[in-house]
């Protein structure tokens, strides 16, 4: 086993401090109720970090804490994606309902498919490393799915460039970077379990995670929560009116189908 790198250890402590600062800021400026899923994810991540810090990275207690806590974090990240989607389409309940169902369905399919693909690699007597690899395969599938979902949401906003709060825009972009880094880090770890590749992947993941937290600490602002402060892409007023009319038409159509079902 390769020992934890000094730079990764630095990122651990910086990451913990920034999580606490981010939580404090969100509560201090009154945005915590608006971003509940993010706060829950940060609270869970902070609690886990505090438990893991005194443990040796390659120890059995560390592995148990990680394996037992990670599903809770992954579930929190799923709720983050749903929170983002809900806020983007908060004025369009029909579109929001349709998207939430789609995200949950894709979540279940991606995890099941990933586990089904990799489960044949392992037998009853599989080593802990192989079991962890199977676990990471499912985790990676979730990150890729969430990243794909946010990318699809970005394409939708590009096609229908309606008004969007700056805080929400930063929320979407930074989490996209986080999910991408997590996927790459897990891939590197699975290619070289217990080796230098795994440590480099973990360090990369932790470093980008820390940078994302720093961005949120800097970018979340009370004044940027106003709906009129941001538009994803600069468009004319006439085009924006057309976009909003299209969204309203789509929303009415979905609500009509729901009522008739």
The pLDDT score that the predictor gives to residue 125 is 46
- Is the residue at 50 inside a domain? yes
Please list, in sequence order, all residues whose beta carbon lies within 8 angstroms of the beta carbon of residue 161, skipping any fewer than 6 positions away. 231, 232, 233, 235, 239, 240, 243
The pLDDT score that the predictor gives to residue 197 is 62
The pLDDT score that the predictor gives to residue 213 is 94
- Is the residue at 1 inside a domain? no
The pLDDT score that the predictor gives to residue 64 is 81
- In the predicted model, residues of the chain with pLDDT beneath 50 are 1, 121-125, 229-232
- pTM exceeds cut of 0.95: no
- Is the residue at 162 inside a domain? yes
- The domain containing residue 87 runs over which residues? 6-260
The token pair that represents 71 in the structure block = 């599903």
Q: Hey, how many other C-beta atoms are within 10 angstroms of the C-beta on 124?
A: 4
Smallest CA-to-CA distance from 138 within 112, 156, 164, 170 is with 112
Question: Residue 14: which CATH number?
Answer: 1.20.1070
- Is the residue at 132 inside a domain? yes
- Is the residue at 12 inside a domain? yes
Note the pLDDT tens digit of each residue in 105-132.
666 666 666 556 555 544 444 555 566 6
The pLDDT score that the predictor gives to residue 134 is 66
**Number of domains observed in the structure of the chain:** 1
- Is the residue at 58 inside a domain? yes
The pLDDT score that the predictor gives to residue 151 is 80
The pLDDT score that the predictor gives to residue 29 is 93
How far is 97 from 77, CA to CA, in rounded Å? 18
The pLDDT score that the predictor gives to residue 231 is 47
The pLDDT score that the predictor gives to residue 230 is 45
């Amino acid at each position: 086993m390769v020992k934890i790198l000094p730079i990764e250890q630095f990122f651990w402590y910086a990451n913990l401090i920034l999580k606490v600062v981010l939580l404090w800021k969100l509560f201090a400026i009154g945005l915590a109720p608006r971003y509940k899923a993010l706060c829950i994810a940060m609270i869970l991540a902070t609690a886990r970090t505090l438990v893991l810090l005194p443990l040796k990275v390659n120890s059995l207690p560390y592995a148990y804490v990680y394996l037992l806590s990670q599903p809770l974090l992954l579930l929190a990240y799923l709720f983050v994606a749903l929170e983002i989607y809900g806020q983007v389409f908060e004025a369009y309940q029909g579109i929001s309902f349709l998207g939430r169902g789609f995200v949950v369905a894709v979540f279940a399919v991606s995890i099941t498919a990933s586990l089904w693909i990799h489960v044949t690699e392992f037998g009853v007597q599989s080593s802990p490393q192989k079991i962890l690899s199977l676990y990471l395969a499912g985790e990676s599938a979730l990150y890729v799915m969430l990243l794909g979902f946010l990318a699809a949401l970005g394409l939708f906003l590009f096609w229908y460039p309606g008004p969007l709060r700056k805080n929400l825009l930063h929320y979407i972009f930074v989490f996209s970077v986080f999910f991408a880094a997590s996927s790459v880090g897990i891939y590197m770890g699975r290619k070289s379990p217990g080796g230098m590749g795994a440590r480099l992947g973990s360090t990369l993941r932790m470093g980008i995670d820390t940078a994302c937290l720093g961005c949120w600490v800097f970018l979340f602002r009370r004044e940027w929560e106003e709906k009129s402060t941001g538009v994803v892409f600069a468009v004319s007023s006439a085009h924006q009116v057309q976009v909003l009319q299209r969204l309203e038409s789509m929303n009415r159509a979905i609500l009509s189908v729901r009522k008739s079902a």
